Amino acid sequence: MIFKVKSIMKKPVITASLEDSVLKASQRMQQYGIGGLPVIENGKPVGIITSRDVRCSHPNRIVEDAMTKELIMINQDASIWEAYEVLEKNKIERLPVLENQQLVGMITKSDLLVELGKNTDPLTGLNTSGFIRFIGETLLFEGKEIIVLLFDLDDFGQFNKKYGHVTGDKCLKIISEVLSRTILPETDYLCRYGGDEFVIITTRMKDEVVNWAKYLLTSIEKEVKNNNLLIQVSVGISANQQKPIPNNEASALLDNLINNASLASSKAKKEGQSLLMVG
Amino acid sequence: MLSSSEKELGRKAEISIKLSEFEIPPIQDVLVVGRKAPIGPGAVRRMVDALSPDQYEIIPIDKGAVEAMVVRKSLLKLLSLEKLIDIILEESLKVADESSVIKAQVDVTVAIKRVIEL
């Protein structure tokens, strides 16, 4: 799984100089089949000239007088999701990539979309387990206290057999929509974890999470009832104590948290409950 | 009858050369650069820095057809920058558009009247 910009950036970087002509820059873009060149002065990036800049400028001009001076860049250790968010927010197509303030690569929107597509569930449009693992390990490494909620559809296999897979898919989409519109981007991270499981990693306070989970269950119940779908959902919740975790231990700890949440969900189901919290 | 090649006795070319002194710099007092002109303010800055270092100021213009003005610094001893820009912009836009590069020769005369006691 590829989650960091450095894994998919293109290198070496093809660049232009301030005093190059726009015509020369255009020819270089054509030669390498690329749509933009970072502009370098004294070894540092000072702007970018894109095919759009070339179209809007006289070919006799120098790059300095045609380039976009406001240069937005990204660190090579940023996640692919963060990089995509930067591109969308700034309405740009490419980002120069830095390591210790040195230009080391380029990443484009199309590079990111390919990788993001591999981490997106085609049915619900949610991120898949790779995303939640990346987020979880990062938060643990940063010493954040996280709580894992695992939502499990009860007897989903039987539901599919009885009502058909199309109805089953409809059910999954409805639940994913309820969860998507209820989470907050600053605290909650959602994914479709397995066939009939959804995981939320949250940095909300422990005493808030149980009530919030109950609210989510009620919202789901209301929505599936409105659509005449006879399905129940259980949620298991597990929490960790805040302390910085070495990067090589974060993965194992996250495994435990997700596993515990899964077991809690199963136990809740067996005991006729819809929610159980452990840890 | 002779062919044209047999009639030809020689071929000559007439060359006209006009020599005149190259102005340093070749932009006189003010240069007005349009946004889509063949040169931009960066290229002009390099030219004046190379040909007449420290004698010109590059003024970027935020809006409109004009991208920048290049002004000889000595003019600013007689006239404020804001007044000069306003006048030059107003007059040059009557004859130019965003693809133009216009040079202007500006002569400023300050007439002073004073009363003194005899």
Per residue in A130-187, pLDDT (tens digit) is: 899 989 988 888 888 899 999 999 889 999 999 999 999 999 999 999 999 999 989 9
Distance of CA A35 to the CA centre of its chain: 25
- CA-CA distance, A135 to A128, in Å (whole number)? 11
Q: A112 and A148: one domain?
A: no
Task: Tell me the two tokens of residue B57.
Answer: 């100021």
Q: Do B40 and A64 touch (CB under 8 A)?
A: yes
Q: Which residues of B touch A61 (CB under 8 A)?
A: 38-40, 43
- Is A35 in contact with A50 (CB distance < 8 Å)? yes
Q: A235 and A128: one domain?
A: yes
- CA-CA distance, A21 to A64, in Å (whole number)? 9
pLDDT at A273 over 90: no
How far is the CA of A158 from the CAs of A165, A197, A199, A245, in angstroms? 10, 15, 22, 40
Q: Which residues of A touch B37 (CB under 8 A)?
A: 58
Confidence of residue A52 (pLDDT cuts 50, 70, 90): very high
Indicate which of B31, B35, B47 best probes the interface with A, i.e. most A CBs within 10 Å of its own CB.
Answer: B35
Q: Where are the beta strands (DSSP E) in B10-114?
A: 30-34, 56-60, 66-72, 101-104
Q: A59 and A33: one domain?
A: yes
Q: Do B38 and A19 touch (CB under 8 A)?
A: no
Question: Chain A: nearest CA to B97, how far in angstroms?
Answer: 14
Residue A51's CATH number: 3.10.580.10
Per residue in B59-95, pLDDT (tens digit) is: 999 888 999 999 999 988 888 899 999 999 999 989 8
Per residue in B8-24, pLDDT (tens digit) is: 778 999 999 999 888 77
Question: Chain A: nearest CA to B71, how far in angstroms?
Answer: 18
Q: A144 and A247: one domain?
A: yes
Residue A16's domain comprises 5-116
- CA-CA distance, A106 to A34, in Å (whole number)? 10
Q: Where are the beta strands (DSSP E) in B21-100?
A: 30-34, 56-60, 66-72
| Long-range CB contact pairs, A205-210, < 8 A, 24+ | A206/A145, A206/A147, A206/A239, A209/A147, A209/A149, A209/A237, A209/A239, A209/A277, A210/A237, A210/A275, A210/A277
Q: Where are the beta strands (DSSP E) in B5-92?
A: 30-34, 56-60, 66-72
Most confident of A246-250, B65-69, B105-109: B65-69
Question: Chain A: nearest CA to B83, how far in angstroms?
Answer: 26
Instruction: For residue A185, give the nearest of A203, A161, A198, A164 by alpha carbon.
Output: A203
Q: Do A61 and B46 touch (CB under 8 A)?
A: no
- Judged by average pLDDT, the poorest of A29-33, A59-63, A252-256 is A252-256
Q: A37 and A74: one domain?
A: yes
Q: A97 and A38: one domain?
A: yes
pLDDT at B2 over 70: no
The count of structural domains within chain A is 2
Q: A249 and A132: one domain?
A: yes
Q: Which residues of B touch A62 (CB under 8 A)?
A: 39-40, 42-43, 46
Last residue of a domain, one of A70, A91, A116: A116
Task: Tell me the two tokens of residue B95.
Answer: 């004859």
Q: What is the pLDDT of residue B20?
A: 87
pLDDT at A242 over 70: no
Question: Chain A: nearest CA to B76, how far in angstroms?
Answer: 26
What whole-number percentage of chain A has pLDDT above 70? 96
Task: Tell me the two tokens of residue A58.
Answer: 């006289």
Q: Which residues of A touch B70 (CB under 8 A)?
A: none
Last residue of a domain, one of A74, A99, A116: A116
Q: Which residues of B touch A64 (CB under 8 A)?
A: 40, 42-43
Q: What is the pLDDT of residue A3?
A: 85
- CA-CA distance, A97 to B117, in Å (whole number)? 75
Q: A83 and A161: one domain?
A: no
Q: Does ipTM come in above 0.85?
A: no
Q: What is the pLDDT of residue B5?
A: 64
Q: A48 and A152: one domain?
A: no
Q: What is the pLDDT of residue B25?
A: 74
User: Chain A contact for B60, CB < 8 A?
Assistant: no
Last residue of a domain, one of A87, A116, A145: A116
